[in-house]
Amino acid sequence: VDKSMFRMWILYEGCPFKTYQVTIGAPAKETPIAKFVMGGENPNPAWWPPPDVKISGKAPVPYGDPQNPLGKWWISLEHDIHHGIGIHGTNDPGSIGSKASNGCVRMLNEEVVEVAALAFKGMIVTVVE
């Protein structure tokens, strides 16, 4: 993931295979520059909002609820320091290509479905400035 270009590349044997435009963390919630390991994948995910995000009702927010920003898939990114970061779809396609997430990498729903099909547990995901 290249934050400066709002792009994510899928590499095959070190060569770019496919690219996607993405949303990254808002200025106060920057997407961390780090090397992550892909964890699990979850279709139609519920959302547990971070403590600083106020919602009406109780958490978790179910898939399909307008307050749930996760879209069709959640792909967890594991790291020793940075927690709660993932790659996911969105219920706000107009935000793609901007700094608008809570730190995650946000994609169009139809594209995150492709990524979920290509990705695997243990895959390295690198975020650069």
Determine the average pLDDT of the residues in 93-121. 96
Amino acid at the residue 65: D
pLDDT tens readout for residues 31-69: 999 999 999 999 999 999 988 888 888 889 999 999 999
Q: Which residues are catalytic?
A: 88, 104
- Judged by DSSP in three states, 101 sits in strand
Under a CB-based contact definition with an 8 Å cutoff, are residues 34 and 78 in contact? no
Residue 121 binned pLDDT confidence (cut-offs 50, 70, 90): very high
Yes or no: say if 8 and 107 are a contact pair by the CB < 8 Å rule: yes
pLDDT of 90 > 90? The answer is yes
HSE on the CB side for 18, CA within 13 Å?
10
Q: Are strands 15-21 and 24-25 parallel, antiparallel or unpaired?
A: unpaired
Higher pLDDT, 70 or 58: 70
pLDDT at 57: 85
pLDDT band at residue 83 under the 50/70/90 scheme: very high
In degrees, rounded to 5, the angle at the alpha carbon of residue 46 between the alpha carbons of residues 101 and 22 is: 30
Average pLDDT over residues 70-85: 96
